[in-house]
């Protein structure tokens, strides 16, 4: 029961917050209502007072005239005994009753403080039942005031309630009987009726006025708000990529100006976007053309070199060595070309993630195995810690393997004969691989540039692996393409660490990593355990909190 | 007289590369024919009747994928595409036009020769064998697939793929295993080959390729043959 008004209120608040029209109409109506109530109240009061005062003045005049007529009649009377005086009073009563402009009642009462009368005369009135409207207060004021008029507003009891009235009193001298109080009771019912009618008219016209104001405001806001909401809708369509969308512009007013400015902006945006898209398409085509144009002659050169290289034993030593150099440098040329093309593909936004569920641990094992010749050549042992947790994730195998090869080759090359450690950790959201060496390390400044293109850690260093200088840039792009992260840590003489963190499912945002890049194995294991704990707790709370990973468990 | 050398038709507009390929292949004991023009490719194909076609994707005149389609219309000869583009879309596009395999430039001579030999290999291992999968009868020796007495035309590679699956209908083959069994690769990581060829095989042998009954996908693992025989 209590909910629906609460909900209605909430809906009203929401409408107020979200709709300009509701806000404008609402505030207009509230202000108009307040103003009308104030003006109406003042007007009603003024009219009421005016009518009342005017009426009372008329009545005072009328009653005073009647009272003086009565007084002069009494003065002229020759009545001397009780019966004659009574008769005189009765005659006077009917004379007073018939005179005057409006319906009224008359009371002719013997004064309260008049001394004992020589004759007994009855109080008379035209409506004895209304005598109670004359208060003692008024009577004593009338008696004290002599022939001065006194009046009072009263409520006259009627069959169905009361009606407003005015009672006017004064004294008259009656022959023989002494001082009498003369009261005229006038009903103000017709004035009340008039007043009620005026008030009704006022109220009805106020309501009509408010309604009219609401309608006018609605129309005005419609004229202003409709173009605004149209512009909003069109802007949304534009944002969704429908660049041809435009506003319909009518007339030459401010709204039309807004519309044409908006359209000009949209046209300019469309122009820019289309130009950029064309540029990007051109770039992509260029990449693909360069690819074809360079690769075909490279294939021929390469096949020729291979043929010569295979028969180098039959060649003079200098030619044989040349064949070896040629073959080796062609390899390097090819990988440089491949890396350049890969980078251009990223720049053109043409790189596509071909993600499928794969076991990162076996991929790491496989990659480390493939690096054995290099690690043996360099005398760098590679220690692998795969952890205990399943590490299946949606990855592009080719790209991740390329990242890992790159990190491993880098670490082995810079390890200076010390151990390289590879650690794999996983939690419910992400899989991380850390490659750590204990070689010369990196300064803070170097770590800031390590992912820059063609950046060399130590220009004087002899390179045996023939890196292209693009490897880490590509690795980082590959990680980003997965929605993952590639981080670096380094300290001079303490070695360096690279950590790749990939989300378990394609498109899942990364929130953290299953391990820290600097942490020792003990710390890493502790962090890992904490994560597993929180994962199982969350799982117990509700399945919606984490993505289902059953697909991965199917994988052999 | 010694057995005839396998004939290779090289369709490539780059004459230097074609000549180099020629030198390498002749050294390996193949007979090589050349064609430098897409428009002339089909005529040369008909007159030389090669055992394997090497086809460059970008050709003057009719382009490589178109040539591939034309050749495929009249022959099941193994076709290997030579492509400079290794992007997924380009590769899949080439394979869908009917190629059995592709080699990305720049390739090594040994790699090219290995691919050619892999495509020729099935010709010299005749095994008397008769298989049944679904409502298909497979005559492994005669290289024929028959449904209700009607022969279905498959390329040798499609045939090999079907036979590999049909031989062990209870086993699920991963894409990597199929690459090794059917294509003869040990290290290539490109499983797109398998996907495209399974699609093509299905379009030929399934009643409804959208709801396959003979070559089934096992999600996250690979493929297996449908019910071996009627119950």
pLDDT digits (tens, 9 = 90+) for A202-233: 889 988 998 998 899 889 888 888 878 888 88
Structural domains in chain B, CATH included, are 7-123 (3.40.50.2300), 126-225 (1.10.10.10)
pLDDT at residue A466 greater than cutoff 70:
no
Find the mean pLDDT for residues A49-74. 88
Average pLDDT over residues B121-150: 74
Q: Is the pLDDT of residue A320 over 60?
A: yes
Q: What tens digit of pLDDT does each residue of A12-58 get?
A: 888 888 887 888 888 888 998 899 889 989 988 999 899 999 989 98
Q: Specify whether A385 is located in the same domain as A449.
A: yes
What residue of A is the nearest CA neighbor of B109? A303
CB contact under 8 Å between A300 and B16, yes or no, is yes
CATH assignment at residue A449 = 3.30.565.10
**pTM for the model:** 0.53
Q: What Å distances lie between residue B142 and A204, B137, B161, CA to CA?
A: 103, 11, 16
| Partner-chain contact B108 A306, CB within 8 Å | yes
Question: What's residue B88's pLDDT?
Answer: 65
Can you give the pLDDT at residue A518?
78
Q: Do A513 and A432 touch, CB atoms closer than 8 A?
A: yes
List, for residues A154-206, the tens digit of each pLDDT value.
Answer: 888 888 888 888 888 888 888 877 888 888 888 888 888 888 898 899 889 98
More confident residue, A480 or A254: A480
ipTM value, please give it.
0.71
Residue A425 has pLDDT above 50, yes or no: yes
What is residue A187's three-state secondary structure?
Answer: strand
Looking at the structure, tell me whether residues A281 and A142 fall in a common domain: no
Residue A250 included in any domain: no
Name the residue in chain B with its Cα closest to that of A307: B24
Average pLDDT over residues A358-362: 89
Handedness of CA A326, A330, A331, A332 (dihedral sign): positive
Partners of A299 on chain B (C-beta within 8 Å) are: 17, 20, 105-107
**Residue A432's pLDDT band (cuts 50, 70, 90):** very high
The pLDDT assigned to A384 comes to: 92
Would you give the distance in Å from CA B49 to the centre of its chain?
16
Kindly state the percentage of chain A with pLDDT values over 70: 88
- Token readout for B212 is 């396959």
Q: Which whole number is the average pLDDT over A96-119?
A: 74
CB pairs under 8 A between A and B: 66
For the stretch A500-515, pLDDT in tens is: 999 988 878 888 888 8
The reply to whether A68 and A179 lie within a common domain is yes
**Number of independent structural domains in chain A:** 3
What residues in B contact A397, CB-CB < 8 Å?
189
Q: Averaged over B4-29, what is the pLDDT?
A: 91
CATH number for position A270: 1.10.287
Query: Residue A46 has what pLDDT?
Result: 92
- Beta strands B7-11 and A178-187, pairing class: unpaired
Which of A346, A375, A390 is a domain's end point? A346
Tell me: pLDDT of A124 over 60.
Answer: yes
Q: Do A337 and A413 fall into the same domain? A: no
Co-location of A300 and A433 in the same domain: no
Q: Would you say residue B64 has pLDDT above 50?
A: yes
Q: Same structural domain for residues A178 and A80?
A: yes
Quote the tokens at residue A219.
Answer: 């129309």
Does residue A110 belong to any structural domain of this protein? Answer: yes
pLDDT of residue A527: 42
Nearest to B220 among A307, A354, A551 (CB): A551
What is the CATH classification number for the domain harbouring A157? 3.30.450.20
Does the pLDDT at position A530 exceed 50?
no
What is the model's pLDDT at position A553? Answer: 38
The CB density around residue A172, as the number of other CB atoms within 10 Å, is: 21
- The per-residue pLDDT for A117 is 63
A136 is written with which tokens?
């003692």
Residues A81, A87: Cα–Cα separation, whole Å: 10
Interface test with B, best of A292, A295, A299, A402 (most B CBs within 10 A): A299
Q: Are B158 and B206 in contact (CB under 8 A)?
A: no
* Domain range for A321: 255-346
- The pLDDT of residue A501: 92
| pLDDT, averaged across chain A | 82
Residue of B nearest to A393 (CA): B220
Structure tokens at A267: 């046209």
- pLDDT band of B25, cuts 50, 70, 90: very high
Q: How confident is the model at residue A77 (pLDDT cuts 50, 70, 90)?
A: confident
Please report the pLDDT score of residue B213 as a whole number. 84
């Amino acid at each position: 029961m209590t909910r629906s008004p609460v909900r209605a209120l909430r809906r009203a608040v929401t409408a107020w917050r979200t709709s300009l029209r509701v806000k404008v109409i609402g505030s207009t109506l509230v202000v108009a209502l307040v103003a009308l109530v104030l003006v109406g109240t003042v007007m009603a009061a003024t009219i009421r007072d005016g009518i009342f005062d005017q009426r009372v003045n008329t009545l005072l005049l009328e009653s005073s005239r009647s009272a003086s007529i009565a007084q002069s009649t009494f003065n002229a009377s020759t009545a001397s005994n009780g019966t004659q005086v009574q008769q005189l009073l009765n005659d006077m009563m009917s004379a007073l009753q018939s005179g005057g402009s409006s319906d009224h009642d008359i009371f002719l009462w013997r004064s309260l403080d008049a001394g004992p009368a020589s004759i007994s005369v009855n109080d008379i009135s035209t409506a004895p039942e209304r005598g109670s409207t004359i208060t003692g207060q008024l009577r004593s004021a009338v008696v004290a005031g002599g022939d001065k008029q006194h009046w009072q507003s009263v409520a006259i009891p009627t069959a169905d309630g009361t009606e407003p009235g005015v009672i006017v009193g004064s004294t008259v001298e009656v022959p023989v009987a002494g001082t009498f109080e003369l009261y005229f009771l006038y009903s103000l019912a017709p004035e009340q009726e008039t007043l009620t009618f005026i008030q009704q008219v006022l109220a009805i016209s106020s309501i009509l006025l408010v309604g009219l104001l609401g309608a006018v405001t609605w129309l005005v806001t419609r004229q202003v708000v409709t173009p605004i909401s149209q512009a909003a809708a069109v802007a949304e369509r534009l944002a969704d990529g429908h660049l041809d969308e435009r506003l319909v512009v009518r007339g030459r007013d401010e709204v039309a100006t807004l519309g044409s400015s908006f359209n000009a902006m949209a046209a300019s945006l469309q122009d820019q976007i289309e130009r950029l898209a064309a540029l990007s398409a051109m770039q992509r085509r260029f990449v693909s053309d360069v690819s074809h144009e360079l690769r075909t002659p490279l294939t021929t050169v390469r096949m020729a070199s291979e043929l010569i290289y295979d028969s180098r034993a039959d060649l003079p030593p200098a030619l044989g060595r040349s064949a070896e150099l040629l073959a080796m440098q062609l390899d390097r040329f090819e990988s440089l070309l491949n890396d350049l093309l890969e980078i251009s593909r990223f720049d053109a936004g043409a790189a596509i993630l071909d993600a499928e569920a794969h076991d990162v641990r076996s991929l790491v094992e496989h990659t480390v195995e493939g690096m054995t010749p290099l690690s043996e050549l360099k005398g760098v042992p590679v220690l692998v810690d795969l952890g205990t947790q399943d590490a299946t994730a949606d990855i592009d195998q080719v790209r991740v393997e390329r990242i890992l090869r790159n990190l491993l080759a880098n670490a082995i090359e810079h390890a200076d004969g010390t151990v390289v450690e590879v650690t794999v950790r996983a939690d419910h959201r992400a899989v991380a691989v850390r490659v750590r060496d204990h070689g010369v390390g990196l300064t803070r400044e170097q770590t800031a540039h390590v992912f820059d293109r063609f950046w060399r850690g130590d220009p004087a260093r002899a390179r045996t692996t023939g890196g292209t200088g693009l490897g880490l840039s590509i690795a980082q792009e590959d990680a980003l393409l997965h929605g993952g992260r590639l981080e670096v840590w380094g300290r001079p003489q303490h070695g360096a660490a690279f950590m790749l963190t990939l989300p378990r499912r394609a498109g899942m945002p990364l929130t953290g990593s299953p391990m820290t890049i600097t942490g020792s194995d003990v710390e890493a294991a502790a962090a890992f355990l904490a994560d597993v704990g929180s994962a199982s707790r969350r799982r117990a709370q509700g399945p919606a909190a984490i993505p289902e990973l059953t697909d991965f468990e199917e994988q052999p | 007289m010694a057995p005839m050398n396998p004939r290779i038709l090289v369709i490539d507009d780059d004459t230097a590369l074609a000549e180099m390929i020629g030198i390498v292949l002749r050294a390996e004991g193949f007979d090589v024919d050349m064609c430098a023009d897409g428009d002339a490719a089909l005529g040369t194909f008909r007159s030389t009747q090669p055992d394997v076609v090497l086809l460059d994707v970008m050709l003057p005149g009719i382009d490589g994928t178109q040539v591939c389609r034309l050749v495929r219309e009249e022959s099941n000869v193994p076709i290997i595409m030579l492509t400079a583009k290794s992007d997924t879309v380009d590769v899949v596009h080439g394979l869908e036009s009917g190629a059995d395999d592709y080699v990305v430039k720049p390739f090594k001579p040994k790699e090219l020769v290995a691919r050619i030999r892999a495509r020729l290999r099935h010709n010299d291992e005749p095994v008397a064998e008769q298989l049944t999968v679904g409502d298909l009868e497979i005559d492994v020796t005669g290289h024929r697939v028959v449904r209700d007495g009607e022969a279905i035309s498959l390329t040798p590679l499609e045939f090999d793929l079907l036979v590999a699956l049909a031989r062990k209908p209870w086993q699920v083959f991963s894409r990597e295993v199929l690459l090794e069994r059917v294509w003869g690769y040990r290290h290539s990581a490109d499983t797109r080959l398998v996907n495209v060829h399974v699609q093509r095989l299905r379009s030929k042998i399934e009643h409804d390729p959208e709801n396959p009954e003979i070559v089934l996908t096992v999600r996250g693992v690979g493929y297996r043959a449908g019910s071996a025989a009627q119950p």
